[in-house]
Chain A
Amino acid sequence: MYTAPKFKQRALALACACAALSASADTLAAAAAASAPRAEVIHWWTSGGESAAVKQVAQAYRAAGGVWVDTAIAGGDQSRAVTVNRIVGGNPPTAAQFNTSKQFFDIIEQGMLNNVDDVARAQNWDKLLPEPIVSVIKVDGHYYAVPLNIHMQTWIWYSKAAFQKAGIAKEPASVPEFFAALDKLKAAGIVPLAHGGQAWQETILFSAMLANLGGKDLYLKVLRDRDPKAIASPAFRNVLLAYKRLQGYVDPRSPGRNWNDATAMLISGKAGMQIMGDWAKGEFTAAKQLPEQQYGCIAGLAPNAPYLMQGDVFVFPKTRNAGAVQAQKLLASVVVAPNTQLAFSKLKGSVPVRTDVDASQADACAQKGIAIMKDRSRHLGVSEVYLTPDQNGAMQDVLTAYWNTNMTVDKAQKNIAAALSE
């Protein structure tokens, strides 16, 4: 065709132009990316609600000019194992998730983490954050982790329908009232306490009794100070007895049950109460139940009951790469920003770490939590905050054995003393 060569020529020119444009666009993008702080973050937030929550952090980071590279690995211990192995292997991520606990203490000791002192001092973390959190992220005067949220471990959830059926008019506000409510539920033919028979869930029940029955002082003496006298005391013995007493209120099929299947029992009205962390809200929400309407939440069994805090932090593996250090500092400041805190906690079911946030957007139970958080005297950490993973695990072994076998309370007391003595 006569027009063909011309057409071909034009097509070629067009193609060349396009290529040139895209090449320059690529280099522009590459240049932009090279200057934007790139953060690879290892975490274990993989389920629906958790994913949505971490996306908020990612978006906030991107809005601040950074590039978020997501490496999600389900299962806390697997995720942490990968983090440790990558640090050892010389290929560390920019940031990695840990729990607010002593899990990363050894890594700090080995000098494998960068600190975020500038951000911490600039925002006065000592004043802004609760003391249990500061106690694990601040080592030797340096701040090695940025906290993301606070979960409360021992909320008492109850099904309004079950309470109505059992004739329980008001929420139990003391330990005797709590057991009375359990008895009423049992009499009404409802499973009083929905429980999943896994070691960590049994530890939650124990912590609830220690905090509510034993009180803040005993709690700290046993778990933080590991005082043998406190562990051998009659007060602690009572706590253990109350813990074992709870077993009479769970159904025989509880061993091995996942926590969300126990929450499902509340949702369907088959069970009355569950002691579980505030992540349980996700299950209620997924079943379209609303706080104070179909279910209720009790923070503690006394007006000043301790608020047992756990949560998640990001640590920053050591690197001298200037770009990575910049990314780490940017991430730290983004995470603690009030907006990020609110957006993340709303989807995660937790409360923000800072008390100066606008709580009006949070749901009813979270608002309760935020209000309690303003009272610093009620701040307490979960056992992981005070014990090393090994001590915590050894104590868990004793608690679950005591729950499941006919171990005597004296033997349990002795074994816990042994577990906490190392």
Chain B
Amino acid sequence: MRAATPYAALLPMALTVIVAYLGTMLWTLRTSFTASRTFPSDKFIGITQYTRLFDNERWMLSLHNLAVYGLLFILACLVIGFLLAVFIDQNVSGEGVLRTVFLYPYAMSFVATGLVWQWLLTPGTGIDGSIAALGFPDFVFDWIVDQDLAIYTIVIATVWQSAGLVMALMLAGLRGIDADIWKAARLDGIPAWRVYVSIILPMLWPTVATVFLLLATSVVKLYDAVVAMTQGGPGTASEVPAKFIMDHLFLRSNIGLASAGAIMLLVPVLALLAPYAYARSRRNRERGHA
């Protein structure tokens, strides 16, 4: 009887997972094997949608872009967020103001802020125009209209939006570290930067892991930023998988292909999450046995 209550309390979660999430994943899988257009159909066509997917240059490019973007975005957010947190933690004056300044982008809808970034990064009329006017007439920053560099502009804008959140989370993690550690390190004469690298960072590892997880979800779901800034362009240069899926879901009325794309996006996520979950459950089991 005692054992029943936790199960009962977890009923909403179980229902959500099974009905909403698992149900959707299975439905999407099923649809990806059909010739569905605007509506799901019962016409099964095997793996045709998948072959069409991998013959599609736009999809392949979107996968490549996602890998490049994901790596840079997560790295930049972690580094910048960490640095901001460390520097703010140095007992600077105006900490409250600084924190708000770094956090406010998170509150704003990217539909408009994305457009602002497009304006800022447009060669000639954006930032490079102003820098040129300041006395560097040859300065041109035209990544956003360049086939190969457009995706990096998306990195810049999304790091702007998310680094503040990472900073806040890291700052909290830093503040949770025992003051004695600092004292001991001081006594040992270790320079400040080494304390951070060799002692603090390893202690922050759990924080970093959770932040990494949250950042990874936004990488996989990247859509608003691309639509607001480049519409996937120039041409299809900054295409990302979520936009490819969305376009085919609504614009192109081809939910069969969109479902195939969604499944292909989910598979690597599951592949990465499974070992993480396994490692955690092992650690929990060991801890639980204490």
Contacts and interface: CB of A to CB of B under 8 A. Distances in A.
Given A388-B253, A390-B253, A252 B142 contact: yes
Given A106-B38, A393-B247, A401 B235 contact: yes
Contacts of A254: 145
Contact of A252 (B123, B230, B233, B251): B123
Interface in A359-393: 388-390, 392-393
Nearest to A252: B145
Main secondary structure of the interface of A (DSSP, over half): helix
A103 B231 CA distance: 21
B64 interface: no
Interface in B230-277: 230-237, 247-254, 257
Interface in B1-60: 37-39, 57-58
A253 B38 contact: no
B173 interface: no
Interface string B120-143: 001111000000000000000010
B144 interface: yes
Contacts of B249: 81
A255 B253 CA distance: 26
Contact of B124 (A81, A198, A253, A390): A253
B254 A390 contact: yes
A397 B58 contact: yes
Given A255-B145, A256-B145, A405-B147, A197 B233 contact: yes
A403 interface: yes
Interface residues of A, number: 30
A77 interface: yes
A177 to B, nearest CB: 30
Given A401-B235, A401-B236, A256 B230 contact: yes
A106 B230 contact: no
A161 interface: no
30 contacts: A77-B250, A107-B38, A110-B39, A197-B145, A197-B234, A197-B235, A199-B232, A253-B122, A253-B124, A253-B125, A253-B145, A255-B145, A255-B230, A255-B233, A255-B234, A256-B231, A388-B37, A390-B248, A390-B254, A392-B252, A393-B247, A393-B251, A394-B252, A400-B233, A400-B235, A403-B235, A404-B147, A404-B233, A404-B234, A405-B147
Interface of A: 77-78, 80-81, 84, 88, 103, 106-107, 110, 197-199, 252-256, 388-390, 392-394, 397, 400-401, 403-405
Given A197-B233, A252-B142, A401-B57, 15 more contacts: A110-B38, A199-B232, A253-B122, A256-B233, A256-B234, A388-B253, A390-B252, A390-B254, A392-B252, A393-B247, A393-B252, A400-B236, A401-B235, A404-B233, A404-B236
